[in-house]
Amino acid sequence: MSTVEADGTAQPGVPAEQAHGHGHGADPLLKLAVGAIGIVFGDIGTSPLYAFRETFAGHHPLALDQLHIYGVLSLVFWSMLIVVALKYVTIIMRADNKGEGGSLALLALISRKTEGARWTSGIVLLGVFATALFYGDSMITPAVSVLSAVEGLSVVSRAFTPFVIPLAVGIMVALFAIQSRGTAKVGALFGPVMLTYFAVISVLGVISIAAHPEIFAALSPHWAVLFFLDDPLPAFLALGSVVLAVTGAEALYADMGHFGRNPIRVSWLFFVMPALMLNYLGQGALLLYEPAAIESPFFFLAPEALRLPLVLLATAATVIASQAVITGAFSVTQQAIQLGFIPRLRITHTSEKAAGQIYIPVINWALMMMVILLVVTFQTSSNLTAAYGIAVTGAMFIDNFLLAVVLFSLWKWPKALSIPLLALFFIVDGAYLAANLTKVPDGGWFPLLIGFVAFTLLTTWASGRKLMTERLHESSIPIGVFIKSATGSAARVPGTAVFMTTARDGVPHALLHNLKHNKVLHERVVLLTVVIEDVPTIPEDRQLETTELGDGFYRVILRFGFMQETDVPAALARLDRCGGMFRMMNTSFFLARQTLLATARYPGMALWRERLFAWMLRNAESAMEFFKLPPNRVVELGSQVEI
């Protein structure tokens, strides 16, 4: 949880006693389950377009015989059971932070419950690195998904091949261009389109299976064991492609706040997983008897006359999958800003009804440029899959450490149950991560590079803000002493002055500067601290805490959850204490704007990180907009700080 100053950044604060999570109202389970199919399962649902093909025709090709086809199908099935159904759907989704899921929400929950433990800082760094890896994944997912769907045009006719790259780029540009308008209207189509998509791939799989029903034997785990015993190295390398079948599993947990755990569980167990496995089994049966179909087994499942409609349906599904990833990037960024890992950015709410529908311009355009760069550079989805998987498996592996803390420290599960479960998850995820590390020379370096850059930015901002706050507090004076000396010597003027500060004691620098230069005090002086709690939402009746300091001075602590909009004027409008109601026309907001002077004089951070932090500080969004303050009622007072 964090305290936000006038610069909109976060620092350690104190937890609220209670907070309420997201409710899902009285929406029936079936309706929420259908909605989850449209939003949550796009990434993992479009994996059949490329996952099975890449295992046999990718950078480490396998022979198209019974042992290898059955072995891969067995690995896909048991990976879905262990990684998705058991780890995420059954266990991790129980670890919600007041209804919210995802690495940052889980990290906030762990930090709150285990505050003071000696290993907490290490867990925080792991959670932040998992978040950093997400940004690499959010760039590759749209590129590989859309490109793999559009490549189906080459299966329909070779004449379409020259248009694949331009069409994929055009779709990406259009998708990112509409983000600022919101996706509520388009989102209403997501559920029906994805339901149709899953139904179609199920039917195509069943038709292929019906001709070769013996393919069901591949579900036995002994085929995966035989695969490893007969061909150990190729089997290990194949894991790098098999894992593509479960990419998107982490999205089930991250999107839990939108639908709740039960609708997602129902959708996965009774609809999505059966549809995916039927399609994979259908592709396996096809390749067993028609090896030439390896060029694109997903599209060759369909009769020739239906391949173009299938391409259009698959493209629509991949656009939906990309939309979910983009929305996820906005949501994760908002959480990171509120929790103090990213400087404030401009956030636009695209829906008056749904608080979670937001748009962050800088993230949107950065993602678009990187996605287009990936498509143009790698050219084919097969080349892109070489870069795909490392970020996902890295995040999944890190989630095991977070889960270990949850099982032992939060839930107090018995070791006899926890240790075997964790061992299973570490072995499976570790094997997938190790296999994906072999992709580093072929493109896997890209998500790792993005992850390390993001990690550096996240940790530099958090550390820099902490050091800056400590330096500012060193020169603060007690508020009681200040009130006694200032009220007797300064003239009082009508109106209310709100000084924003991270400090729970001491005098804000903006107040000292105002008194020094203007030599006046307002009739009512409010020292306002905004605290971002490590829970998603704080109910209105628990947001405001007030203390009267005497002589017209008041201290107000305003609390928000990390998923809430920091609208300070709206919150103050509800406050009837502290000398009466707040009227914006009689209220002035004083903000401190610090200019950082990078210097090696203090041992806080390396000089290059200080300069990086100074650059981030200069380019942060205006505090006035971040706190929704009226532009004509804001006064900014600057100072210089060395850290």
CB 400 within 8 A of CB 127: no
Q: What is the Cα gyration radius of the chain? A: 27
Residue 81: per-residue pLDDT: 93
Band of residue 466 on the pLDDT scale cut at 50, 70, 90: confident
- Phi then psi for 397, rounded to 5 degrees? -65, -45
Band of residue 69 on the pLDDT scale cut at 50, 70, 90: very high
* Residue listed under structure tokens 């919600």: 96
Band of residue 160 on the pLDDT scale cut at 50, 70, 90: confident
Number of H helices, E strands in the chain: 28, 10
Residue 354: per-residue pLDDT: 54
Strand pairing class (587-597; 358-359): unpaired
More confident position, 185 or 486: 486
Specify whether domain 40-443 bears CATH 1.20.1740.10.
yes
DSSP classification of residue 59: S
- Among 289-293, 345-349, 453-457, the minimum mean pLDDT is found in 345-349
pLDDT at position 15 over 60? no
- Among 126-140, 243-257, 556-570, the minimum mean pLDDT is found in 243-257
Burial class (CB in 10 A: 0-12, 13-18, 19+), 41: buried
Segment 94-123 mean pLDDT: 72
Segment 358-362 mean pLDDT: 86
Distance, CA of 43 to CA of 317 (rounded, Å): 9
Taking residue 93's Cβ as centre, other Cβ atoms within 10 Å add up to: 18
Segment 137-160 mean pLDDT: 87
Domain ranges of the chain: 40-443, 470-642
pLDDT at position 631 over 60? yes
Structure tokens at 282: 């259908």
Handedness of CA 538, 542, 543, 547 (dihedral sign): negative
Rama region for 341: left / alpha / beta (φ>0; ψ in -120 to 50; rest) = alpha
Distance, CA of 2 to CA of 16 (rounded, Å): 11
Percentage, residues of the chain above pLDDT 70? 89
Residue 586: per-residue pLDDT: 86
Distance, CA of 319 to CA of 574 (rounded, Å): 42
- Phi then psi for 267, rounded to 5 degrees? -60, -45
What does the pLDDT look like over 374-421, one tens digit per residue? 999 888 888 888 788 888 888 889 888 888 888 888 888 898 998 999
- What single string gives the DSSP state of each residue in 384-453? HHTTSSHHHHHHHHHHHHHHHHIIIIIS---HHHHHHHHHHHHHHHHHHHHHHHTTGGGTTHHHHHHHHH
Structure tokens at 516: 């020094």
Taking residue 24's Cβ as centre, other Cβ atoms within 10 Å add up to: 16
What does the pLDDT look like over 71-89, one tens digit per residue? 999 999 999 999 999 998 8
Helix (H, G, I), strand (E, B) or coil at 22: coil
Percentage, residues of the chain above pLDDT 90? 22
Strand pairing class (520-532; 491-500): parallel
- Among 73-87, 125-139, 180-194, 396-410, the minimum mean pLDDT is found in 180-194
pLDDT at position 353 over 60? no
Average pLDDT, the chain: 83
Distance, CA of 99 to CA of 517 (rounded, Å): 48
Handedness of CA 321, 375, 63, 242 (dihedral sign): negative
What does the pLDDT look like over 83-106, one tens digit per residue? 999 998 888 888 877 667 777 777
- Among 12-16, 251-255, 283-287, the minimum mean pLDDT is found in 12-16
pLDDT at position 28 over 60? yes
pLDDT at position 5 over 50? no
Residue environment code for 627-638, b if the CB has 16+ CB neighbours within 10 A, otherwise e: bebeeebbeebe
Residue 73: per-residue pLDDT: 95
Strand pairing class (553-560; 544-550): antiparallel
Residue 20: per-residue pLDDT: 37
Distance, CA of 148 to CA of 311 (rounded, Å): 10
Distance, CA of 511 to CA of 531 (rounded, Å): 20
Residue 196: per-residue pLDDT: 92
* Residue listed under structure tokens 């029903």: 213
pLDDT at position 267 over 70? yes
Segment 447-459 mean pLDDT: 89
Beta bridge partners of 558: 530, 544
Residue 22: per-residue pLDDT: 45
Distance, CA of 324 to CA of 195 (rounded, Å): 16
Helix (H, G, I), strand (E, B) or coil at 64: coil
Residue 355: per-residue pLDDT: 53
Distance, CA of 47 to CA of 570 (rounded, Å): 45
Nearest Cα residue to 313 out of 491, 49, 558 = 49
What type of residue is 95? A
